Amino acid sequence: MKATSKGMIVIADDLTGANDTGVQFARQGMHTEVLLNDAALNATATADIIVVDTNSRAVPAPEAYARVQQAAQKAAAAGFGQYYKKLDSTLRGNVGMEIKAILDLNLHDFALVMPAFPKNGRITVGGNYLLNGAPLSTTEIARDPKTPVYETMLPELLRKQTGLKVGHIDFADISQGQEGIVQALRRHLNDGCRIISSDAWQDEHFLIVAQAAASLSEKILWSGSAGLAEVLPQLFHWAAEPETRQPAFVIAGSVSSVTRGQVEQLVASGYEMIELKVAGYLSWQAGQPHPTLQQVQQALSAGRRIVLVSGYKADTVQQTQTAGEKLGMSQVAVGEKVAQILGWIGAEILRAQDISGVVLTGGDTAVAVCNALGVTGIRVLEEVTPAIPLGAMTTREGKQLLVVTKAGAFGAPDALVKAVKKLEQRR
């Protein structure tokens, strides 16, 4: 592969590790290929990321050293600009020896070692490597039949395996932010450390530590599991520009407790709830100003994700019914007025806003919105979840919209979350 700003060689010690690291780059739009050995590694490769499996985890340390160093030499001859040494997230295998094999080629100033993977319960705190909260040496990894790990302290494990001086960035350094990390890195480098490991107990630690390291050198041997690999495209500005996805708009007119629970999960996922207070607008007529319409329009224009609800709170329902009784309206008439207001507000929003689609919860609400839009039918496309369909409809003015309809007292707790995700994906 010819040297480019994207060129990276990833050297892994087994195939599954090669794949789970490669996918961190591939899912960010980078052409990634995994090779079962380094035989196919050459200067004409076209992938942005080449991952080589040396199959060296369970072999004797000298053999692992030789295999990894050979792969690194071929990568250098092929013109790769960046190197990543994939490590097992439970530190099995010849972790230190394989890092040393690459460092001994003098291609890098130092190795930054962050094997933690918080998403899977692997974290480093104060140099202690913990697996689901337990010291690594007390877990089943210490009884692994092929590659047992008896050492819990990450920097000590690296020192024992390499014979090199190892520095460590601990939680006190990280708590001081990037400047504190830079100072710690400089201190270790001035002390002659060519391997520097780091704590990481949260995902955000990878990027801040990597940014600090990159500010000191362009020749770093990045060493870790999928956690560190995930942030490197962002660090090097390699990630493909994300597709701009317009939010979906949700109108929940049902007073069902099932819908309330679904709205709660939707709000927890990042949606903002705006409640339509109907009690003061039972004499309202379509076309008259309505403050809720303005509130929703402003929120959507600002890029916020909105779920418009009515009757979300029990006291709101009671207030609306009481207000209706004072006007001589039956509960049915009150319900029809609520649907009419939701339908008009929904139609005004859907005509004016660029959204990925709409979710309509409650049969009366769905009909009211469709009528207000002049929709005469819905083309059914697919199922979001069992018996919750996604379809397409065309407004009176010819605007095409994706729509998910859901009965009020129906669906799993995450039904609305799945519906909005489906709409954004279809867009």
Mind listing the domains of the chain with CATH numbers? 8-235 (3.40.50.10840), 248-426 (3.40.980.20)
Q: Give the full edge-to-edge strand order of the sheet including 110-114.
A: 32-35, 49-53, 8-12, 82-86, 220-224, 110-114, 195-198, 166-169
Tell me the C-alpha to C-alpha distance, in Å, between residue 376 and each of 332, 354, 395, 401.
25, 21, 8, 13
Token pair belonging to 91: 């530190």
Give the up-direction half-sphere exposure of residue 140: CA atoms within 13 A in the CB hemisphere: 1
Q: How many CA atoms lie within 13 A of 65 on its CB side?
A: 12
The residue whose two tokens read 């689901």 is 132
Determine contact, residues 15/56, Cβ cutoff 8 Å: no
Give the C-alpha separation, 4 to 101, whole Å.
24
Cβ-contact 310, 301 below 8 angstroms: no
Distance CA 319, CA 415 (A): 28
DSSP-derived secondary structure letter, 132: T
How far apart, in whole angstroms, are the C-alpha atoms of residue 188 and residue 186? 5
Task: Quick: pLDDT tens for 107-160.
Answer: 999 999 999 999 999 999 999 999 999 999 999 999 999 999 999 999 999 999
Helix (H, G, I), strand (E, B) or coil at 397: coil
Local confidence pLDDT in tens for the 427 residues of the chain = 333 444 899 999 999 999 999 999 988 888 899 988 776 676 556 788 999 999 999 999 999 999 999 999 999 988 888 999 999 999 999 999 999 999 999 999 999 999 999 999 999 999 999 999 999 999 999 999 999 999 999 999 999 999 999 999 999 999 999 899 999 999 999 999 999 999 999 999 999 999 999 999 999 999 999 999 999 999 998 865 545 567 889 998 877 788 888 999 999 888 999 988 777 777 767 667 778 888 998 888 888 899 998 866 666 667 777 877 888 888 888 778 888 888 898 899 999 888 889 999 988 889 999 999 999 999 999 888 888 999 999 999 999 999 999 987 788 899 999 999 989 877 5
- List Cα–Cα distances, 3 to 44, 46, 75, 80, 240, in angstroms: 10, 11, 10, 5, 19
Question: From CA 356, how far away is CA 241, in angstroms rounded?
Answer: 19
Alpha carbon 116 to chain centroid, angstroms: 17
**Statement: the pTM of the whole predicted model exceeds 0.95:** no
- The values of phi and psi at residue 212, to 5°, are -65, -45
